[in-house]
Chain A
Amino acid sequence: MAFDSWHAFLAMGGHAAYVWSAYGVTLLLLAGVGLHVRLERRQLWRRLQRQARREQRPVRRAQEGRSP
């Protein structure tokens, strides 16, 4: 551990504003990437299923049994 206490860790030797803003924006960006990919996936699947229902194709498991 490079710090003596939690307080020292949070203070970052007076550089708290710089260190925490850089890491904060990094975490926000990474969370955003994860969320975006997840939402995109759900939206695409909804669209495919709507399309299947519209064309009155049975919405069922694939014959080959391969998972997507």
Chain B
Amino acid sequence: MMWAFLHKLASPQGFYALSARLSPWCWGLAACLIGGGMIWGLGFAPADYQQGNSFRIIYVHVPAALLAQSIYVAMALAGLVFLVWRVKLADMAATAMAPLGAGMTFLALFSGAVWGVPTWGTWWQWDARLTSMLILLFLYIGVLALRGALGTRQSAARAASVLTLVGVINIPIIKYSVEWWYTLHQPATFSVTSRPAMPAEMWLPLLVMVLGFYCLFLAVTLTRTRHEILRREASRRWVQALTGEGP
């Protein structure tokens, strides 16, 4: 039964129906969590005793940086599934999430630079964490450019998947950069295994923002994969049967 469910899910038609049912909830949840988290973090969380109010940038910086890496890993997994099992839907999902990943990487770099000015006295330095995040941005841009140049052909899917998989080596470098070369960026503030080193009033809004950003990732991926199905499977009868119902 599990297998039959997975098989149905991996078919564009089965995925389309499930995604159409789920995505509105993801969008709504993302809007509530991000909206609430922002108000909480900006107006109600206490200021940091050392950094003052510039500390509030954490509530957009950390979720953006987490998502930038998670989306890349998800894209690489999708690429692997596409290359090994030739699941078309996996490549459609990888296509759907790439622009959001690039946007999140940019946001992490931008908010980090802006935060760096009052905290470090510089907006940029060739620190290992900062540099490896910049490389991540270039990887995203490379994948997007490759797909843009080759369109929806099979060769585009293969080339983009290979590039994504090669670039995944950058992910552990980003993660451990702050421990291997501790030059500017401080090590991770949070870990799954230990208690947070800040009071709950400070990390709770961050948790809300992180959850909100992941909901957004899910919403964008579900919706844009559906778009990708409409784009690539426009000649299928079941897709044509959808026309006339409106968007």
What is the bound-complex CA distance between A19 and B53, given in angstroms?
Answer: 8
Q: List 17 A-B contacts (CB under 8 A).
A: A2-B45, A3-B43, A15-B53, A18-B54, A19-B53, A22-B60, A25-B107, A26-B64, A33-B216, A36-B99, A41-B227, A44-B227, A45-B243, A48-B242, A58-B244, A59-B244, A62-B241
Interface residue from A15, A21, A40, A68 paired with B245 (Cβ < 8 Å): A68
Write out the residue numbers on chain A whose beta carbons fall within 8 Å of the beta carbon of B57.
Answer: 18-19, 22-23
| A35: Cβ under 8 A from any B Cβ | no
B interface, CB within 8 angstroms of A:
16-17, 20, 34, 38, 42-47, 52-54, 56-57, 60-61, 64, 99-100, 103, 106-107, 110-111, 114-115, 117-118, 216, 220, 223-224, 227, 230-231, 234, 239-247
A interface, CB within 8 angstroms of B:
1-3, 9, 12-15, 18-19, 21-23, 25-26, 29-30, 32-33, 36-37, 40-42, 44-45, 47-49, 51-52, 57-64, 66-68
Minimum CB distance partner of B231 in chain A: A44
Q: Is the CB of A12 within 8 A of B53?
A: yes
Q: Is the CB of A68 within 8 A of B242?
A: yes
**With A13-B52, A18-B54 given, is the CB distance from A61 to B244 under 8 Å?**
yes
Interface residue from A18, A26, A48, A66 paired with B239 (Cβ < 8 Å): A48
Interface residue from B43, B52, B247 paired with A14 (Cβ < 8 Å): B52
Interface residue from A23, A44, A52, A61 paired with B230 (Cβ < 8 Å): A44
What is the bound-complex CA distance between A33 and B83, given in angstroms?
Answer: 28
Q: Is the CB of A15 within 8 A of B52?
A: yes
Write out the residue numbers on chain B whose beta carbons fall within 8 Å of the beta carbon of A33.
Answer: 100, 103, 216, 220
Q: How far is the CB of B239 from chain A (nearest CB, A)?
A: 7
Q: How far is the CB of A64 from chain B (nearest CB, A)?
A: 7
Q: How far is the CB of A20 from chain B (nearest CB, A)?
A: 9
Q: Is the CB of B114 within 8 A of A21?
A: yes
